[in-house]
Homo-oligomer: A and B are copies of this chain.
Amino acid sequence: MDQKTKINKALRALPVLEGCPPEVFERFVEGSIVSVHDKGKILFLQDEPAERFYLLLSGWAKLFRETLDGAQAVVDVLSSGDLFGETAIFYENEYPFSAEIVERAELVSLPLALFKSEVEKNGAITLNTLHHLARHNRKQGREIEHLALQSAPQRIGCFLLRLFDQTQGGPVTIHLPYDKTLIAARLGMQPETFSRALKKLRTETDIDVAGSTVTIGDIGRLSAYSCGGCSSGFPCDDLEHANCRH
């Protein structure tokens, strides 16, 4: 499959562009740039004027904010199919966070100006985008609640539960999507705390941990432990992969 076809296909899978006429996709493909980056590559910095937005084809990226005294808050960790940097056009034309590749990634970047003009022109895209932003608001609201009210082990439990389809019953084995240090940062805790909290979770609920493989013996027990500290109850929506429909 040639490069352009591949990009086109990736773009068609985006809910924000759902319902666009073919020529719009053509225009996006025209303006696209594909690149591959290794771990450590900074894509852009917070408050930088935003020119382009990104779509991950493979690999992992983290979005973060860095305080003046050097502390870092990981806002999100993204993978294949995820879109980021697109909100800049609706507010100040600056990125609201920095973005860094954390695992060798292939990505497509697209001009924000093009997106903006399409949004202004095409009602369907506009509504998709509204929905997209609203979903993101929900996700952030939940994030705030979790940070304010959940304990470290609860946050981990909650994170684990959102890694698989919660409507399935029975024991589940999952693979942690990225390394524990990063999960810890994503959940707003230190690596040491993560390690200890996971151990506590092992004694409190019946999960098994072997390296990066976690086996949940009893989903009900884990959710009873974790979801008590959340307003959404169990099962809860994913909200994570808002942009991909694989």
The listed residue (B65, B90, B228) touching A133 by CB distance below 8 A is B90
Q: Which residues of A contact B (CB under 8 A)?
A: 46, 65-69, 71, 73, 75, 87, 90-91, 96-97, 119-120, 123, 126-127, 129-131, 133-138, 140-141, 143-145, 147-149, 188, 227-231, 233
- Say what secondary structure dominates the interface of chain A: helix
The 9 closest A-B pairs by CB, nearest first: A90-B134, A91-B134, A140-B140, A133-B133, A65-B231, A147-B147, A148-B188, A69-B228, A73-B148
Docked pose: A91 CA to B137 CA in angstroms: 10
Contacts of A147 in B (CB 8 A): 144, 147-148, 188
Contact between A65 and B141 (Cβ–Cβ < 8 Å)?
Answer: yes
Docked pose: A245 CA to B129 CA in angstroms: 26
Contacts of A129 in B (CB 8 A): 130
Contact between A67 and B230 (Cβ–Cβ < 8 Å)?
Answer: yes
The listed residue (B66, B75, B229) touching A71 by CB distance below 8 A is B229
Q: What are 26 of the A-B contact pairs (CB < 8 Å)?
A: A65-B141, A65-B145, A67-B228, A67-B229, A67-B231, A68-B228, A68-B230, A68-B231, A69-B228, A73-B145, A73-B231, A75-B141, A75-B144, A91-B134, A91-B137, A96-B137, A119-B127, A119-B130, A120-B127, A126-B130, A130-B130, A133-B133, A136-B137, A137-B140, A140-B143, A148-B188
Q: Across the interface, name the chain B residue whose C-beta is closest to A150.
A: B67
Contacts of A97 in B (CB 8 A): 141
The listed residue (B69, B75, B126, B233) touching A229 by CB distance below 8 A is B69
